[in-house]
Amino acid sequence: EFGLIGALRRRVGRPGGAWAAGIGDDGALLRSRAGWERVLTVDALVEDVHFRWRTTDARSLGRKALRVNLSDLGAMGARPLGFLLALGVPPDVGSQRLDGFMRGLLAEARSAGSPLVGGDTVRAPVWSLAITAVGEVPQGRALRRGALCPGDRIFVTGDLGASALGFHI
């Protein structure tokens, strides 16, 4: 576990930006800005519940894991600031699979400008991961479901249902 954390710290580096401290302490430090609100979201993915290795490659899983959270931030009109990763892997996890997962996750993080700033690792019987993403939105400007009114327009991107269809295939 400590070896994995050290490898992550070297790979990720210092988060900078809104983050005063990232990986390597008991928690990440996020600077507050006047006039802004924080948005937090979390999604979990568990092997054989949300994905199967026979139909998912590690790099794609890493990208998907972060994208589902970034999508939630975007739906609320928030700009991503960073994320935490809780990762459970079997003791016999192959380094190639773990490396592929991290390459996909960190590529998505760089693309979104959303650094990995901390989390937790644990031995588990199957792959299990949860990402908590943090974003910000100007105060009072968050897009909230309860604020929708008749006549409002809702926009979506991508192919609706594609994720569920892929899982069932």
For the segment 100-150, what is each residue's pLDDT rounded down to a tens digit? Answer: 999 999 999 999 999 998 899 999 999 999 999 999 999 888 887 777 788
For residue 2, name the pLDDT band (cuts at 50, 70, 90): low
What does the buried/exposed string (b/e) look like for 17-34 if buried means 16 or more CB atoms within 10 Å of the residue's CB?
Answer: ebbeebbeeeebebeeee
CB within 8 Å of 9: residues ≥ 6 apart? 23, 24
Q: What pTM did the predictor assign? A: 0.79
**CA 142, CA 135: separation in Å to the nearest integer?**
11
